[in-house]
Each structure stands twice: as C-alpha cells, then as structure tokens.
Amino acid sequence: MTNSRKFRFISVLMTGLFTAGTALAADVSEFYKGKTINIIVPAGPASGYDIYARLMSEHFPRHMPGNPTVIVQNMPGAGGVKAARYFSTVGKTDGTELLLSPQTIGTDEALGLLGDTVDVASFNWIGRFTTNVPVGVASAASGVKTAQELKDREVVFAGTSARSPAIVFPTALNVLAGTKMKIVSGFDDTRQTFLAMLQGEVDGLVLGWAGLKSSNKDLLDKGELVVLFQGTATPHPDLPEVPTIVDLAEGEANKAAMRFIASSSEIGRSIAAHPDVPQDRLEALREAFVAMLADPEFIKDAETRNMELVASSGYEELDAVISQTLGVDASVIALVKETLGLK
C-alpha cells in the first residue's frame, strides 16, 4: 500500500470512529433528555450520606448529556443493607438509578451479611466524594473527655440498627479494646441519636466526621462536642491527636480485626451504577462525575456547606478497595464475626 493510500485509509478510519463516537454521544444525550436520575441514599434526610446526594442533585445535571433531573430517594434501614438489596434486586439497570453506597458494603459482603442478592464486586463504580471516618463523639455535658474513660467507666452510646456503624464500632471496642460502652439501640436514624445526646438521654454516639463537621461545626467550635475515637487505621488530618480504633485495640489479632472494620472508611461516600448499565451510559456517568468534581461552582458550594471532599474519580481505586476487603484472611473474618455476634 502506498503512503497516499495509507493516509486515505487512516483518514477514513478516523472519520468512521469519530462519527461512531458522535453517534454514541448523541444516543446517550437523547436517552437522558427529559429523564430523571434517582440517587438511592441508605440513610435518612440530613444525614451524612444525604447531604452529598443533594449536593450532587444540584450540580450533576448540567454535566450529564441530556441534562436529566436528579432526585434523592432516602432508604434507611439495616445499616444500609436495605438500600443495597433494593439496588441489586429491583433497581433500574438503564442508568437512571444510582446508589450512594453504604460505606460498609464491602465489609458487609465479606461477613456474609448481604446474602446472595448483592454482588458488590460487580458494581460499576462512578466515583467518590470523600472518604468517611466514623468518630465516637460525646457531649461536653456528659463529662467524658478521653477514650481512656470509655475503659474506666460505663458510658452510654446511642445506636440505630444492629449493623450500623453506630453499633458496630462500640461493640467492637467493647470486645477488642476493653471499653465499657452501654449501647442503647432502636433509634430510627442518626438525627434521633444526635438529638438524644444533646438532650442528655445518652452520653454519645458514632457518626461520620465529614457529616458532623458539615452540619454541626458550631457545636464543635464551641467545645460542646468531644471527639473520643476515630474508626480508621490512620488518623484523619483534622484529628491527629484522637486515637484510632486500631490504637485502642489490645493485641495483634484484635488490631487486625479492627483494621478490617476500619477499612469501610475508604469507600466513604461513593456512587455506584448497576452492574447491567449499558457501557456508553456508564462512561457518560463517569465523565460527568469527573467534570462535576472539577467544577469551581461545585467546589465552592461544598466549601460553603463545610463539606469535606477527598474525591476520587477513579473507579479502579474503588474496585481495588472492594477487592482487598473481600480478600481478607479467613481468621480475621472469623474473629470479627465472633466479636459482632454473627453466625
């Protein structure tokens, strides 16, 4: 083939690829035009999950082909398991339904809590707003000032469902670190547990640091809330002096179990699409998420609301986190199950 014929061939090929790409983009835009994207949130309104979903609902549409409307559907229950099962079993597969994933979704699957209906490894991750470090917080009025006091005397912590971080972390600390937290469960959501703490019905609770400093920065600044521990393996930059649950655990086996429990913070506030979403729509969702994260208006809005952004637009990173979590040694899983009273 002569050089001129080669150039003509390449030109025709590139034109064809460009035309095909343009056609695909047009198809995606046409599909989403006039549509509504539903974000399923595994917690109630005004929760640490909810605030990120609502921020996305305001900024995502202008970056998505076809400019669809985005709405939030709150689905609390069973520490996020209810939302995950709904998403996996009856959730829409056409790209009009997304899940703001429960951050414990990887550890829950490794522990066998999600059943056969959820396959986390098959999720199509879109991206992450932020990691989310659960923190143990007490009211200043309770008189509790340090994590050591949790080992010295009984402190009452409020909880919601059995698999929620609000119960998992105090339970794990009681068994693996020797704390003496009394857990009062049965609250409907974090708003109720937080109100119970402010009213003096309980001493403290566990909730996400990102949501706490966004929604209650004034109470933190006034010293009305005391952060006692953080549910991660390495300290959050905001909390360099606050002990981690791994620091508090006693013995290497217990520390390994705590590292597994803490790994959920890496999922944080992440968005997933259904495993069966068409590839062209999946790529459009990912590209729109990247564009939103880089949008100065989005960033300014997040800062105005005191919302933490430790963003990741790389779905491969989230795939790796899930893969690592599901590959944890069986002895660690066995100890965690025993600790949490799981069969």
Over residues 135-159, the pLDDT tens digits come to 999 999 999 999 999 999 999 999 9
Q: What is the pLDDT of residue 334?
A: 98
Partners of 69 in beta bridges: 36
Q: What is the pLDDT of residue 8?
A: 52
Contact 185, 167 (CB under 8 A): yes
Q: What is the pLDDT of residue 188?
A: 84
According to CATH, the superfamily of the domain at 134-264 is: Periplasmic binding protein-like II (3.40.190.10)
* Equal CATH topology for 33-131+267-337 and 134-264: yes
Cα separation, 285 vs 35, whole angstroms: 14
Looking at residue 37, what DSSP letter applies? E
pTM here is 0.84
Contact 67, 33 (CB under 8 A): yes
In degrees rounded to 5, what are phi and psi of residue 231? Answer: -85, 60
Q: What is the pLDDT of residue 163?
A: 80
Q: What is the pLDDT of residue 20?
A: 42
Q: Are strands 97-100 and 124-130 parallel, antiparallel or unpaired?
A: unpaired
- The pair of structure tokens assigned to 227 is 């952060």
Cα separation, 204 vs 147, whole angstroms: 12
Over residues 202-223, the pLDDT tens digits come to 999 999 998 898 889 999 999 9
Cα separation, 38 vs 282, whole angstroms: 15
Tell me if residue 137 falls in helix, strand or coil.
strand
Average pLDDT for consecutive 10-residue bins of the chain (343 residues)? 50 46 75 98 91 97 98 92 94 97 94 92 95 95 97 96 88 98 91 94 94 91 97 94 97 97 92 97 97 96 92 85 95 97 88
CATH class as words, domain 33-131+267-337: alpha beta
Q: Which is nearest to 56 in space by CA: 317, 227, 301? A: 301
Q: What is the pLDDT of residue 7?
A: 45
Contact 127, 308 (CB under 8 A): no
Domain edges within the chain? 33-131+267-337, 134-264
Cα separation, 169 vs 229, whole angstroms: 10
Contact 269, 105 (CB under 8 A): no
Cα separation, 105 vs 332, whole angstroms: 17
Q: In one letter, which amino acid is 13?
A: L
Looking at residue 86, what DSSP letter applies? H
Q: What is the pLDDT of residue 328?
A: 96
Contact 49, 41 (CB under 8 A): yes
